[in-house]
Amino acid sequence: MAKVVFEHVYKKFPNGVVAVNDFNLEIKDKEFVVLVGPSGCGKTTSLRCVAGLEEASSGNIYIGDTLVNDVAPKDRDIAMVFQNYALYPHMDVYNNMAFGLKLRKFPKAEIDRRVKEAAKILGIENLLDRRPKALSGGQRQRVALGRAIVREPKVFLMDEPLSNLDAKLRVQMRAELQKLHNRLQTTVIYVTHDQIEAMTMGDRIVVMKDGVIQQVGRPLDIYDHPNNVFVAGFIGTPPMNFLEGVLRKENDRFYVDFGTFKIYVPEGKFRTANMYVDKEVIFGIRPENISELADTPNANPEDVVTATVDVSELIGSETYLWVSNGPHSFTARVDAHTKAADGDQTQLVFNTQKIHLFDKETEKAIP
Ligand code: ATP
């Protein structure tokens, strides 16, 4: 069993920075968990606490059933893959992968078996006698993974391992890492600031901000049901639109009054809506939940908003319309073949089943 448990982990650096604040999480055996959040939110520090490279100021960390607070990094049965994978330039690929095992005095035959097996899994068998400088970036990253795999650790810790690769290779390695995880069936804790990596790779993702866990869940649950404005805005590209309005009730129906237009809330969508009547709220809707009327022939006229196209941005498979209505600006993700051009008036349909409301003061989702 190689679950990893954080219990009230707190880390304050001598300069007073609280990098990790009451971190509680149980990562299951074989689970692929991604810690994601903006730069400086404490992802790397959390990972380094598991590795033993950083000592928590308080709290407990367990690997399997062992409390590892006082266990030396080398005895924690983990392997770490960094963004900067620093291979030994004077050693060939075989020896780069074998080095850690040699240091640990593994028998030669066992080292050979493990290196060859890892090379096979990673598809780098034909590169074993090359030096790092004769490898592409993706191949080097594979060697770095190989170095971790030969250790046969209980847990892989990965800190932005793909961020030095170009965009195309990153997408390819993303899929390869998932295949690798399926094959090795080892617990992985993966750190990234890239929400797309988090969404595509994690069995579960942990969204962090300022050292505090904001939400833990399966990617789609977090996407569909963000806890607060931060999570809603961080996950998804282009990000969710946030519009400020006032929740009103009229003839038993709720609507959000934006001054220049209003949007009706589907019946029963927010069970606590009554508590917010006549209060300011933050209204959220993702760009893909706003369509053009021309593409939505059966739209309810109540859900249609007229807006001015500020910029129409064709990205190939679709077009982003950056639009405004009075003081409100928002983005719609529409068909690539839209006729809307900069400066046009367009009729947009809000899919009200997909809207979110947040408390303006706490920024928490209104249930
Ligand atoms: P990034 O994506 O930029 O790597 P991160 O989310 O991994 O960011 P951490 O590296 O964990 O964040 O840093 C969290 C906070 O702790 C930051 O404010 C950082 O400046 C601070 N910090 C990190 N290491 C130290 C240190 N050794 N001494 C003092 N402060 C530190």
Determine, yes or no, domain membership for 92: yes
Domain end: 209, 234, 259, which one? 234
For residue 134, what are the domain limits? 4-234
* Low-confidence winner among 98-112, 151-165, 194-208 (lowest mean pLDDT): 151-165
Beta strand pairing call for 262-264 and 318-325: unpaired
- In ligand 1, the atom with minimum distance to the C-alpha of 211 is 14
Average pLDDT on 189-201 reads: 95
pLDDT confidence band for 83 (50 / 70 / 90): confident
Do 52 and 172 belong together in one domain? yes
Determine, yes or no, domain membership for 149: yes
pLDDT in tens, 223-259: 999 999 999 999 999 999 999 999 999 999 999 999 9
Determine, yes or no, domain membership for 18: yes
Q: What is the pLDDT of residue 121?
A: 84
Paired strand residues for 162: none
Do 66 and 162 belong together in one domain? yes
Q: What is the pLDDT of residue 84?
A: 73
Determine, yes or no, domain membership for 277: yes
Residue 145, helix vs strand vs coil? helix
- In ligand 1, the atom with minimum distance to the C-alpha of 41 is 6
Determine, yes or no, domain membership for 367: no
Q: What is the ipTM of this complex?
A: 0.97
Do 224 and 114 belong together in one domain? yes
Determine, yes or no, domain membership for 150: yes
pLDDT at 167 over 90: no
CA-CA distance, 88 to 86, in Å (whole number)?
7
Percentage with pLDDT > 70 across the chain? 100
The CATH number of the domain holding residue 291 is 2.40.50.140
Do 130 and 160 belong together in one domain? yes
Domain end: 182, 208, 234, which one? 234
Most distant CA pair in the chain: distance in Å?
A: 81
Paired strand residues for 334: 319
What does the DSSP assignment read for 222-275? HHHS-SBHHHHHHSSSSPPEEEEEEEEEETTEEEEE-SS-EEEPPTTS-TTGGG
pLDDT confidence band for 215 (50 / 70 / 90): very high
pLDDT at 22 over 90: yes
pLDDT at 173 over 90: no
Contacts of 16 (CB under 8 A, 6+ apart): none
Do 117 and 171 belong together in one domain? yes
**Nearest residue (CA) to ligand 1, atom 11:** 42
Do 38 and 147 belong together in one domain? yes
What's the CA-to-centroid distance between 17 and ligand 1, angstroms? 8
pLDDT at 85 over 90: no
What's the CA-to-centroid distance between 208 and ligand 1, angstroms? 13
Q: What is the pLDDT of residue 122?
A: 85
pLDDT confidence band for 9 (50 / 70 / 90): very high
CA-CA distance, 126 to 119, in Å (whole number)?
9
**Nearest residue (CA) to ligand 1, atom 29:** 13
pLDDT confidence band for 183 (50 / 70 / 90): confident
pLDDT at 360 over 80: yes
Contacts of 68 (CB under 8 A, 6+ apart): 50, 52, 61, 62, 76
The CATH number of the domain holding residue 174 is 3.40.50.300
Do 247 and 207 belong together in one domain? no
CA-CA distance, 365 to 65, in Å (whole number)?
36
Do 40 and 126 belong together in one domain? yes
What's the CA-to-centroid distance between 40 and ligand 1, angstroms? 5
What's the CA-to-centroid distance between 63 and ligand 1, angstroms? 23
What's the CA-to-centroid distance between 128 and ligand 1, angstroms? 36
Domain count, the chain: 2
Q: What is the pLDDT of residue 297?
A: 85
Do 73 and 216 belong together in one domain? yes
What DSSP designation does 302 have?
G
Residues with CB under 6 A from ligand 1: 13, 15, 17, 19, 37, 39-45, 193
Do 217 and 299 belong together in one domain? no
Angle at the Cα of 272 from the Cα atoms of 269 and 277, rounded to 5 degrees: 100
Average pLDDT on 78-93 reads: 88
Domain end: 183, 217, 234, which one? 234
Residue 205, helix vs strand vs coil? strand
Average pLDDT on 105-134 reads: 93
Do 120 and 256 belong together in one domain? no
Q: What is the pLDDT of residue 1?
A: 65
Do 281 and 338 belong together in one domain? yes
